[in-house]
Amino acid sequence: MIDALSTTLTWVSVAAAVWALVLVVAHRPPLPGRADGNAFLGLLGVIEVALLVQAVLGFIRLVTADHEVDGLQFGGYLLGALLILPLAVFWSFAERTRWGTAVLVVGALVVPVMIVRLNQIWDARA
């Protein structure tokens, strides 16, 4: 995969998870319209755009790979990583308690796990 993008996505996602954890402890959901809520949701948007770039580049690299890669599994993880944050944000908006914000912590922590798994699949037969 693209090492610099994977590393950046991992650390920014962990930072978003820590930020969401602070919001959970403060009992303050990230509401659109508030400065902190807009900043947090903007960060999640940046992560999502980077995940989209990773998916596009990942599919291009999958087609042009010089070694055997399990395409179905790799593609599933690429698409799954794209779905995690939008689903977490939707769930968070539907559940306006601190547990809705806790879903954002989990969603942001799942992204690095998916990235690590993508790298494992890519490197499995390299």
The total of structural domains in the chain comes to 1
Tell me: the pLDDT tens digits for 45-100? 999 999 999 999 999 998 988 888 888 999 999 999 999 999 999 999 998 888 88
Tell me: the pLDDT tens digits for 2-36? 789 999 999 999 999 999 999 999 888 887 888 88
Q: Which domain holds residue 117?
A: 3-123
CATH at 109: 1.20.120
pTM of the predicted model as reported, rounded to 2 decimal places: 0.90
Helices 71-94, 98-123: inter-axial angle, 10-degree rounding: 170
